[in-house]
Structure formats: C-alpha cells, structure tokens
Amino acid sequence: MKAGLMRLFFWGLMGLFAGGSAWSVDNPLPVELDGSLVRYNGSFYAMSAQTNGQMLGSSNLQDWTSPVAVLPPEIGGPYDLAYRNGLFYLYAEGKGFAAGAEPLAPFSAIRKAGLSGEQMRLFQDKSGALFSVNRRLGSKKEGEIWLQRYASPWKTADRATELLDGRRGMWDSLDSADLGEPEILDYRGSYYLLYAANHPGPRTGLREIGVAMNENPRRFENPDKLADPVLARNVERLARTYAAVLPTAAYAPWKARYTTKRPDKNWAVPGSKLSGWRTGDGGFGFPAEVGEAQLFTCHTKWKENEIWVRREFDLPSGPLKMPLLQLRHEGAVQVFLNGKMVYESKEPSLSYSNFDISEAAAGAFKPDDNLLAVHAVAPKRADYRFLDFGLFDAGDEPVEPTVYGLDAPRIVTGPNGFEKWVAYRAWWNGQRGTGLDRVFFYNDEMVIDGPTTANTPGYHPPPAKPTFADSFASSGSAAWAERWSAAGGAWATTNGVMRQAETKGLARAYIKRPPAANYLFETSIRITSMEKGMRGAAGVVAWSDGKTDMLIGINPVTRTWEYHLEPGGGSPRRQSLPSAFQWSEAPKGIDAAAAPLHRLRITKNGAYFEVWLDEMLLTPGKPLITELHGAGVPGLFCSGAAAEFDGVVYTVGWDEHAEYITDWGSAADGTQPSGEWRHDKDDGLEQCRHSVPGLAFKGDLLDQYEFTVNLETEKLEEGKERLYGVFPVFANRDNYLKAVIDTRGRQLLVSGKLNGRDIGQIAKTLQRQIVHRHLFDDETAYRDIAAWVYQLRSQSVVSALDVRWLEGDFEHLRQEFFVPSDDMLIRYAKLDRGREPMLWDDGRFYDADEPKPYAQKPEIHNHIAIRPEIANNVGFGLYIPSSIVIDSRTGRYIRDYSPGEDLDNNEEIGSDTIDSDTMSRPQETVITVEVESSYFFRCIKLKDRVIIELNGQPMLTIKGEWPASQVGLLTEGQPCFFNGITLYHLPDE
C-alpha cells in the first residue's frame, strides 16, 4: 500500500519542470534595459538600452510599457536613476544629471555637475546617507571600484576612496583586471558590493559578476570578495550536463582540415579528396585580441574572406539522442553533417551559442566516419574574423541558449515587497539582452539563482505578486468599496489616487482581506492639507482587530513620525524623522515637486513592527515591540489632515533573522511546541537540547506560499541518530509534510500525511557537487609546490575532487598553463574549523592514488577520489618529488622534502626545479560533498504540490492538495540553529 501511495504522490522534479516556461522567467526579457532600475510607488522604472533618453515602466518586472522620451535623444547613457525627497534624478555618464517629479514625463535640462567617476550607481543606506559606487581607471589603466559620499543627489562630499581592484590569480582578472558596473545592497546588517570583471563583451566570454561583503560600505577591500562569481556564465554548467562529442576550443584546441580557397562542390561529403587542404587547430580567426584582451580560443590565423573547415568523428556509443551544435562565428555560416545542411545563418553569433539540430540532422548520423563541415564568410569591412564549432548530445535535457558577457547588475525588491531580484545585461546565444533572476540569502551568503533561460530545468518562477495591491485606477467611491471599508472621513478614488478630503477628525480605510498575524504593508502618501495646530498626521493603520487600531503616521510640518493605539492608547509617541528626509527638495534652478509622494512601509512579524519611510529605517536598532501578536488587517488613516494615497502593496508573510526571530510556538490546531528554544544575537533561533525533540510552528494558514530558512548545527556528527529539519506543510496531525536531514544516513527524509493517509517515507541522497573556480594565494604556495584551498559553507564530508586544468598562454597573467606533467604528484588535505588554510603546513596529507604519479588529462574533469572526513576547507596541491630541505642560513642541502613534515629552526624548502605555478593551475574544481552541517531549505507549497530544494538543488516534488497550512521547525537528537527565515504568500493568478 505504501509503495502505491508513493507512486501516487511523488513526482520526479526533472520530469515535472523540464522546459516548462510556467516555472521559469522567460530570459532574456522582451526589452533591453540600461543599468538603471528603481522601484517607485509599487511600480518599476528603467531606461531603455535601445534608444537614448527613453524610460520604460513595469508593474511586474517582466512586462514593460512602450518607451517614453524623458531626455533629448542626443543625451546617451549609460544612465543611473534614483528617487530622493520628491524628485527623480537621472544621471547620464559624462554629461551631468537631470531631475523630474514623474518618471514617465520629460525631465529638466541636463545640469553639469562634478559627479564621481563612470558607471555610477547612487545608493542610499537605511539611515538616509547617500553614496555612489563607480568605476575609475587606476594607475595601470584598469577599472577599479571607488566609493564617493554625497551631501545631496547633486553634490559630493569628502574625497572618493578606492574599494576594489583586479588581482591576478583570481577569476576576476583572467584576461584583464577591469572591474566595473558596481551595485550595492544593504540587507540583514551587511552590505553586498556587486561588480563585473574581466573584459566586457561577448567575444572573450569571461565577463562575469562577483560580490564582496562587509558590514561597512566604506571599508570594502579585496579580501572581502567571494572566491567565485555570484553570477557566472552558464556554459560550464551546460558542459557538465551535455555529453561532448566534438568539444570547441573553449576547452582545448582541436585538429581539423581547412582551406581558404573555394573547394570542390563535394567538400562537405565524407571521403572527398582534400587536395591543398591544410591541418590546423581550431578556432580560426584574426586578430587574436579583442581590444587589449586576449582571445584565447583563437589558435589558427584566418585573415581571408572565407574559410571551409572539416572535423571527422565516430559514434562508438551509438546515435545522439539530442544533437546540439555549438558555434561561434563572425558573419554568415553554413553547417553540414555528412553532406546535409543542418544549420545556416547570415547573422553573426558573437558568443558561443547552442542550436538544436535534431530535426535537421535526422537520419544523417552514422556509426563511423562522420563529418561535420562548416563554411564561414567574413563580414564586409570586418574588424574580426572568427570560427569555432563543436557537437554535443543534450540527451534528455532541454537545449538551453548560452549566456555570456554578464554585466551591469541591478538589484531591486520585487512586486510583493519580500523577494530580491537582479537585472543584468548579457548575451543569450550571441544576442544582447537583459536577464532577471532571483537573489537568495543563505543566512548572510548571497546566492543568485541564475543565469536562467526559458528552458532551464527546475523551479524558477517569475516575480511573485503581492497578496493585495491597489493603484486606484478607477474613479468614484464604488470602485474601491469592494476592496476597502471606510470608517469616517471623505474617501474616494480620483485621478489614480485614493483621496481623503476631510481635515477634521479621524478617518480610516481598511483593506478587505482575512486577518493575518504577519505581513508587509506599504503605500505612497501625499499630505494635501492639515488642520490648524500642526498635530495632524497621515499614514497607515498598521494593525486592526476591529476593536483597536495601531496607527503609524507622519507629520511634515513638525518633521516627526508617531504611533499609538486607537482608542485608549493615549497620546501618540512622536520621534524625529531622519535628518536626511525632506518632504520636498531640489537643486538650485530646478523646480521642486509641488506635492511629492513618499513611501511608508510597515512590516508586522508577530508583535514586532518595523517602519520605513522612503527606504529610511525609522526603527533602527530594534523594531517596535508590542503585545499585538494576534491577526489583524492594515489600512490607511488621516487624523486632522487630508491626504492622497497610491500604490498600495500588501503581502502576508515575514522576513526575520538573528535575535529578532519571534512568535514560533504552538500550531493553529493546538499542537504544542517542545524542546528548549533560545535566541542567539547572531545565529538566530536555537533548539539546544539533545534529549528532547524540538517542535515549533508559525504562520498564517495559507493555501500557497514560499518558505526559506537556513539550518546549521554547531558541528557535524555522523555517528548517531541526528535529525533536524522543517515542516514545509503543517495544517494538523492528519495533514503535514516533514523534511529532515539524516546526517548518519546522509539523506533527506520526507514523510507525512494527507487527509490522514500516510504517504510513505521518501529518501533522497544529500550528495551534491559544488563548483569552484581556480583560486591562487601566495600564502598557500611555495616555489616548488602549488596548492589550492577552497572554503566550504560549513563542516562537510568531501569524497571526491574533479579538476579541469587551465590551458594556454594567458598574456594578461604573463603565464602559460599546462596540464600537470607526470613528474608531479597530487596530494590533498582537509582542514578543520579554526585552522589557517595553510595546505602544506597542515601535516595531515593523503596521496590521491597509488601507484604514483597520477596522470592528468586535458579538456576533461580529472577525478580524484579522497578519503571522506569532516572538514571546513578542502585543498589539493602539486608536489614535485625533487623538492629539498635546505639550511636557511647557508642554502646547503639537508634532505629530500616530504609535504606535511615539520621543519626545524633554520630550515626551509628549497628547489632545483622550475616554479610549478607557472605550469599548472585548475580552471574549475568540482567538489563532491556527501553531507554538510548547514542547509538552506526552500519549500514551495502550491495548491496541488509541494516543492523542496536544498542549497539551491532541486530535491523532490510531492503531488497533493494539502489544506491551508503553517510551517514548522523540528529537531530529533540534534541541537540546531535556524536563521534567515522568510515566508510569503503566493496568491492565485
């Protein structure tokens, strides 16, 4: 019976989501956006990258309006856009800035100003302080990231300071140390500085996006950079997914026959005579540089107008299930398989691109003696010539376009007020566009789910809608009566706003939604008049249970904000508004907005309230802590004032971390909490007992929601029964899902009930592969030993390394790299928490294999099986057997050196060999992790299924129509920290 139930309820995730556009953002977007992007009044605005001086608007980040001219067409970008104290500021690089009261209306004339740097991004932190991060050329004429403080949006303050630059030896300076297009985000007490690195554009293909993290935006340094890109091109992932039949030169040079003179008509047919054809290495092109950046995939010079290239191959494993052509070319191209044309294009593909040729190639493949032949024509008056091509088998996976040249990241809060999204420029199959992907935080670690395409497998839905939103598009009182209930005042919708015209007494309007205990509510406010005495206010009803209201309002005359309960709450408690806030502000010579809108947002998390005004936090340090734990509804209010309201957004849910995680306890059905729960100032909510199972529940009963939380144990203990996890669904004891980490079994275990029926336990392995780029540090290498250390998210058990070696001559690095030679040995080590990652000083080393040496091969990932042990870091190195120990005073030989041995005083490592780092370096290391001590759960409850992901990896989807539910936390024999917890409602379409 249980087996049958499992078949009924369990769906394989790849079968459910493969290629399904309903679950993926359709990247690239239908419009190409410039780097500017702001959220204002519940909508989004960005400058077009296709036409100078034109602005676009969107309500959902996917569908955009027709462009509206806001600047003269001769004022080109790149642009930056910001809203501050009633005005929009539009910066045009190298020209100055303009200002305007409305985003989709003409701005002022451009004003010259001494603004800082290029590729500028203006940023306001939660206190209201203004900064910009921007690119400047350093002493070596390479891009650096600088920070400039601003006194106002049009005036700098203090001197600019350098934050980041490119350093040879990391991923961000392979073909140039050119950092640029910075972006900065303040979230959960940390600042995240994003930047693009390596040569821009699609041809070199190395431009990607990195991130640095610091608690102070003015103190970023190079060591704050994460070791890997936070948003990387997708070709490495696809290369690990698809089976390579004929790799391109992106992996290694390949042999082919070619000619630049028109051949016989049967040149594309196997077995043709090849008189006059030459042999060369692909790819073919000229010049071998793009600007000053090396085109390292160009191996054979091609300067003529046309080229014909042949690659022969066999298929010993049988026919290809989903043949995929990978191609990069300048100008027109024709591709033939065994004499049959399978692809043709008159347009260039400036980056490597993937094309499904399964229909065109049907019946053309043979077991042996296949021929892939390509004819390319250089564009007229072309600056570049290039051709490289290969063949892959996608198997059962969808054919995805490649994504190269990632640039200009811009992070924005999504329509529902909770999600974070990043928009960026990139090249999809050689065509430039704008991508949009989700930003997650595994506690404080930024992770971007991208780049995605319409065909990327998995669950990558578009931005979530709020539970309730109102832009008051319809006029009249009846238009809003179905959505709002009023108490006092004179309320009506007119000219796209909700207007309350009465200046005397108290007027309130409540949204017509079921009460909730946790939610976000925001609106834009324009106070039009006030009763005499200056004690009026307008704002939001932060909570109402039908008897008592909590009111939070602002008074522009006294420059205060206030809160109190009504009735019976006594006089309002008033506090000063931030000094940076102005009701209306404008530079000299530009008219201020006559009646600007200001954005007031509150979040209710249990009994905790946070208050924001124009993205300035009015409750710094800690939230307003009340006794209002129960459910209620929000709304709008005026007291002694007339006001207009617009852009209302309401989403049920919460976002909490560290010491202000709250209201976890009993479930709605009466199930009681258990265990010993306590708060940690930094690590969040802890269940600290081994002997007692821990249970805690929270949340409003919702049909659909997304729930994310980071779980971490203090240390990894494998030998005992240790379980910890979450309830993705908990309606009652007859309707729930439980998902737990089993460290001893190294499995995710999911069990539960639906309508009282046991669904049977589902087990999924926790083994996963994480990918790191090459990381070289002078502290971990000697003259004759090259070593690489990779930091893991938490204590982990690592069972294997798969290494693909960097190959070729990298002029920017002034080094040529080779696959390690046979006289080098690979050894590895795992390092524990608290130990400095000095690989060769650790002393606990293991040979990767016996007998030695371990032969490494080009183009592929070389597998290194290692002894599974718990560690916080994993490293490996190349050891030259002829290394020696010498006297540091005299340089005299003492003995042969063995890695890991302790050196005595006055001893050091010497060598009569070459510097090994100039020879070999890993390009990519895939680390197989069996189990970890920290997991980021993402659980999505939809009406007919529940989806579970761990650390960004799809685990399973369970079909079933569970009733409206809460979520829960649990431990069984394993103390655990729960931190960075977010849940929000997913409304019906």
The DSSP secondary structure of 53-117, one letter per residue, reads TEEEEESSSSSBPPPEE-S-TT----EEEEEETTEEEEEETTTEEEEESSTTS--PPPB-----S
Measured CA distances, 131 to 34, 155, 945 (Å) = 20, 11, 45
Q: How far apart are CA 76 and CA 178, in angstroms?
A: 23
Structure-block tokens of residue 901: 């041995």
Distance CA 453, CA 402 (A): 9
Give residue 482's pLDDT band: very low, low, confident or very high (50, 70, 90). Answer: confident
Residue 820, pLDDT score:
79
Separation of alpha carbons 457 and 15, rounded Å: 9
Q: What is the pLDDT of residues 89-148, one digit of tens each?
A: 999 988 899 999 999 999 999 988 767 778 999 999 999 999 999 999 887 778 999 999
pLDDT tens profile 168-197: 778 888 888 889 999 999 999 999 999 999
The per-residue pLDDT for 891 is 67
Summary mean pLDDT of the chain: 88
pTM, full prediction: 0.92
Distance CA 523, CA 132 (A): 27
- Does residue 453 have a pLDDT over 70? yes
- Cα distances from 960 to residues 8, 459, 757, in angstroms, run 9, 17, 11
CA distances to 686, 751, 771 from 728, in Å: 18, 11, 28
Cα dist from 14 to 66, 447, 456, 457, 956, whole Å: 37, 22, 10, 7, 9
CA gap 697, 1 in Å, rounded: 31
Dist CA 400 CA 398 (whole Å) = 6
The fold for domain 243-393 equals Jelly Rolls (2.60.120)
Q: Which pLDDT value is given to residue 859?
A: 76
Of 652, 736, 726, 790, the residue nearest 976 (C-alpha)? 726
Is 503 in contact with 529 (CB distance < 8 Å)? Answer: yes
Q: Classify residue 566 as exposed, middle or buried by CB count within 10 Å of its CB (0-12, 13-18, 19+).
A: middle
Q: What beta strand segments (E) does 414-548 contain?
A: 420-428, 431-442, 445-449, 468-470, 484-487, 491-494, 497-500, 506-511, 518-530, 537-544
Kindly provide the residue ranges of all beta strands, DSSP E only, lying in 429-466, ordered along the sequence: 431-442, 445-449
The mean-pLDDT minimum among 8-17, 248-257, 422-431, 802-811 falls in 8-17
**What is the structure's pLDDT at 477?**
65
263-267, 423-427, 569-573, range with the lowest pLDDT:
569-573
pLDDT computed for residue 293 by the predictor: 86
| CATH architecture of the domain covering 468-656 | Sandwich (2.60)
Q: What percent of the chain has pLDDT over 90?
A: 68
Encoded tokens for 294: 């090396």
Query: What is the rounded average pLDDT of the residues 907-916?
Result: 56
Alpha-carbon dihedral 859, 864, 870, 873, rounded to 10 degrees = -40
Confidence check: pLDDT of 779 > 60: no
pLDDT of residue 137: 87
Residue 291 has pLDDT above 50, yes or no: yes
Give the position of tokens 């026919």. 319
Q: Report which of 950, 966, 948 is spatially closest to residue 958, judged by C-alpha positions.
A: 948
CB 937 within 8 A of CB 725: yes
Per-residue pLDDT of 593-640, as tens digits, reads 888 999 999 999 999 999 999 999 999 989 999 999 999 999 999 999
Residues 6+ apart with CB under 8 A from 938: 440, 706, 707, 708, 947, 948, 949, 950, 952
Pairing relationship of beta strands 332-337 and 323-329 according to DSSP bridges: unpaired
pLDDT above 90 (res 17)? no
235 pLDDT above the threshold of 90: yes
Domain limits of the chain?
A: 243-393, 468-656, 677-768+933-985, 775-795+804-859+867-920
Each residue's pLDDT tens digit, 499-519: 999 999 999 999 999 999 999
Residue 285 confidence (pLDDT) above 80: yes
**How sure is the predictor about 296, in pLDDT bands with cuts at 50, 70 and 90?**
confident
pLDDT at 367 > cutoff 80: yes
Q: Is residue 854 a contact partner of residue 913, using CB atoms and an 8 Å limit?
A: no
Is the pLDDT at 366 greater than 80? The verdict is yes
- φ/ψ of 561, rounded to 5, equals -125, 155
Straight-line distance from the first to the last Cα atom of the chain, in angstroms, rounded to the nearest whole number: 36
Domains 243-393 and 468-656 share a fold: yes
Q: Is the pLDDT of residue 370 over 60?
A: yes
**pLDDT value at residue 7:** 27
Distances (CA, A) of 289 to 14, 260, 689: 41, 21, 62
Domain 677-768+933-985 falls under CATH 2.60.120.560: yes
Other C-beta atoms closer than 10 Å to the C-beta of 913 total 15
Residue 850 confidence class, pLDDT cut points 50, 70, 90: very low
